[in-house]
Amino acid sequence: MVELLKKGKKTVPHHTGVGRGEYRSEALLGFVREALGGEDPAFKRIREETPKKGLPPISIGPDEGQLLSILVQACGAKKAVEVGTLAGYSACWIAAALPDDGVLHTIEFDPKHAAVARDNIKAAGLASKVTVHVGPGSEILPTLDGEGPYDLCFIDADKVNYPVYLRWAVENVRSGGLVVGDNAYLFGKVHLKPAEAGEDAPGVPAMRAFLKCLADRRYFTSCAMIPTGEGMAVAVRR
């Protein structure tokens, strides 16, 4: 129950620490993006041209890209893995934040998407840091074991396989490294019963299992949900 503080004839709700988000208008978000540093023009071109090339416009946005950049640098990452390349937009944010000798392995199921991503990554001047692998994440990830341990794993692919990708990350991300999962709200449906989630029903138990593992102190020292539009879950490997 919200405590009310009386101030004259007015009552002021006591701050509970729970953000409601009513104040987040597009004008405000646009101002903040501008104030905190813009998007690299090469990255912006990737984002804007993705739909024109026949790819679905489902990559992260510039706000999430900046968050990824911060996370990469905060954990001192030199080796990273991404599951779900699409057009290479998030890969570029990760690679740009890596040091000059950093390495990113990014995995894309669709060969067409992978080809577009390679072109985009090259155009952004980041090809020397990035290797694009084509195939199912569940098959490609085990082939990367020998080059670990990794400092960061970013998961943004088919939601039903998030637990599969996370199990790999638990085995291959170093202590103190980060596991990051996008779309962790499951498009606003993670809290619903599968019968209420429509086409995303198969993803409900999978995403819940993913979040439960991130919160498991046997594997991770801490975890949090960054309240982006899609929800970005972050956990620190024990």
Which domains are delineated in the chain? 24-237 (3.40.50.150)
- Can you tell me the distance from the alpha carbon of 159 to that of 219, in angstroms, rounded to the nearest whole number? 21
Answer whether 137's CB lies under 8 Å from 82's CB: no
Give the pLDDT score at 108. Answer: 98
Instruction: Answer whether 38's CB lies under 8 Å from 69's CB.
Output: no
pLDDT under 70 in the chain at which residues?
Answer: 1-22
Q: In the prediction, which pLDDT does 21 show?
A: 59
The whole-model pTM stands at 0.89
pLDDT at residue number 1: 37
Predicted pLDDT at 171: 98
pLDDT per residue as tens digits for the range 55-86? 999 999 999 999 999 999 999 999 999 999 99
- In angstroms, the Cα distances linking 105 to 63, 143, 150 are 22, 11, 10
**pLDDT at res. 19:** 52
